[in-house]
């Protein structure tokens, strides 16, 4: 079973990863966000352009080129993909993409212009392109002057999904993972729509973790700072729109293969919430209880709105606009101190 622990950006998924480390039947990979499927230019984009909506304008060529650039960027010297697979990640990725290509030739098209930088547009495409056209008119034949590249075509390739699942499995095998234990990954699916990535994994499950919007707003604003810049935190009204839109998309996706929990439930209702996780996955023996996740420690990372009181007006606005997402902290003991989040 492949278990994806997913959040919506600092919503507490790391706490579930820590909890799952306490079971010997799990293999937990938490040093990297395994985002090959849903990240832009990843497997979902390949699926769209090669299988679901192929176009005569060589959309598959663009998707293949971007996927190659994507997996190459994931293989930096310190990356998990490179080191955990003993430098096999690029080779595995190249073998996968080669298995999908149905035809190839030397050439170029309008997509090359779209992706070109200033120098390429003005020198390669404009200047050299005019020389190429002049050559065509004078010689009455094609003599290659304009730089070309390999173009690739793939239209509804046979066994796309089988080949994609094999690709993911080959990465797991190269990283020393196997089917004898559960494989637990950090963010392999999109937290607001995980099921669209399930087709790329064998026997997938998703645990989605969310967090009280008041704490999330202050976490981005006062704690994680630059690392939280993907969230709007300078204007509370924009934050509320951001929070609502992501949850509206998430709420439209339900499945027995998805478990949704709140970070706060894992802390304040530890026994009940951990039981739900154990039953959802089918875990047997809790080998190291509270070794990696201790709710009494994480409790200090909640109720940030009680610490940063100078933002009371903004918190009141969140409470009014997002009341259905608030955790009922009033039912529990008020915090006594604050530690480092997560």
Q: What is the 3-state secondary structure (H, E, C) of 210-249?
A: ECCHHHHHHHHHHHCHHHHCCCCCCCHHHHHHHHHHHHHH
What's the rounded Cα separation, in Å, for the pair 218 and 314?
A: 10
pLDDT of residue 272: 97
What's the rounded Cα separation, in Å, for the pair 238 and 332?
A: 30
Residues forming beta bridges with residue 151, ordered by sequence position: 105
Tokens of 140: 């009455």
pLDDT of residue 253: 59
Burial of 202 (0-12, 13-18, 19+ CB in 10 A): middle
> Taking the CB of residue 134, how many other CB atoms lie within 10 A of it?
11
Per-10-residue mean pLDDT, the chain, length 342: 93 94 94 92 95 83 94 89 93 96 86 77 74 80 76 93 97 92 95 92 95 94 84 93 88 80 95 96 95 90 90 95 94 62 46
pLDDT of residue 337: 57
3-state secondary structure of 13: helix
pLDDT of residue 113: 77
pLDDT of residue 254: 66
Tokens of 96: 């996968």
Q: What pTM value is reported for the model?
A: 0.87
- Residues contacting 130, CB < 8 A, separation 6+: none
pLDDT of residue 342: 46
Residue with tokens 């079971």: 23
Dihedral Cα 289, 262, 4, 66, nearest 10 deg: -140
Phi and psi, residue 276, nearest 5°: -60, -40
- Residues contacting 149, CB < 8 A, separation 6+: 106, 107, 108, 112
pLDDT of residue 225: 78
pLDDT of residue 341: 47
What's the rounded Cα separation, in Å, for the pair 321 and 262?
A: 19
What's the rounded Cα separation, in Å, for the pair 193 and 208?
A: 10
pLDDT of residue 228: 80
Task: Sort strands 149-153 and 258-262 into parallel, antiparallel or unpaired.
Answer: unpaired
Long-range contacts of 93-101 (CB under 8 A, 24+ apart): 93/68, 93/167, 95/170, 96/163, 96/164, 96/166, 96/167, 96/170, 97/64, 97/67, 97/68, 99/157, 99/163, 100/46, 100/50, 100/64, 100/154, 100/157, 100/160, 100/163, 101/64, 101/152, 101/153, 101/154
What's the rounded Cα separation, in Å, for the pair 186 and 237?
A: 30
pLDDT of residue 129: 72
């Amino acid at each position: 079973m492949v278990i994806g622990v997913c959040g919506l950006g600092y919503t507490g998924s790391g706490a579930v990863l820590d909890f799952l480390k306490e079971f010997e039947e799990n293999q937990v990979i938490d040093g990297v966000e395994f985002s090959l499927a849903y990240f832009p230019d990843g497997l979902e984009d390949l699926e769209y352009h090669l299988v679901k909506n192929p176009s005569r304008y060589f959309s598959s060529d663009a998707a293949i080129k971007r996927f190659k650039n994507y997996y190459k960027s994931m293989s930096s010297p310190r990356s998990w993909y490179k080191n955990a697979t003993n430098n096999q990640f690029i080779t595995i990725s190249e073998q996968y993409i080669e298995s999908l290509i149905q035809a190839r030739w030397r050439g170029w098209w309008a997509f090359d212009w779209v992706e070109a930088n200033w120098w390429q547009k003005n020198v390669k495409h404009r200047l050299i392109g005019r020389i190429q056209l002049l050559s065509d008119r004078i010689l009455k034949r094609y003599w290659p002057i304009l730089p070309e590249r390999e173009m690739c075509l793939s239209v509804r390739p046979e066994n796309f999904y089988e080949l994609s699942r094999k690709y993911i499995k080959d990465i797991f095998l190269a990283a020393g993972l196997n089917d004898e234990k559960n494989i637990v990954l950090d963010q392999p699916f999109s937290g607001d729509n995980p099921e669209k990535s399930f087709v790329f994994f064998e026997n997938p499950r998703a645990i989605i973790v969310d967090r009280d919007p008041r704490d999330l707003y202050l976490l981005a604003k006062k704690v994680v700072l630059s690392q939280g810049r993907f969230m709007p935190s300078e204007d509370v009204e924009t934050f509320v729109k951001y929070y609502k839109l992501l949850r509206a998309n998430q709420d439209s996706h339900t499945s027995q293969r998805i478990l949704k929990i709140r970070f706060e439930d894992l802390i304040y209702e530890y026994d009940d919430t951990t039981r739900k996780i154990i039953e959802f996955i089918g875990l047997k023996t809790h080998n190291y209880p509270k070794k990696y996740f201790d709710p009494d420690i994480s409790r200090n990372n909640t109720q940030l709105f009680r610490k940063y009181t100078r933002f009371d007006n903004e918190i009141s606005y969140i409470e009014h606009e997002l009341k259905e997402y608030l955790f009922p902290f009033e039912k529990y003991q008020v915090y006594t101190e604050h530690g480092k989040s997560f």
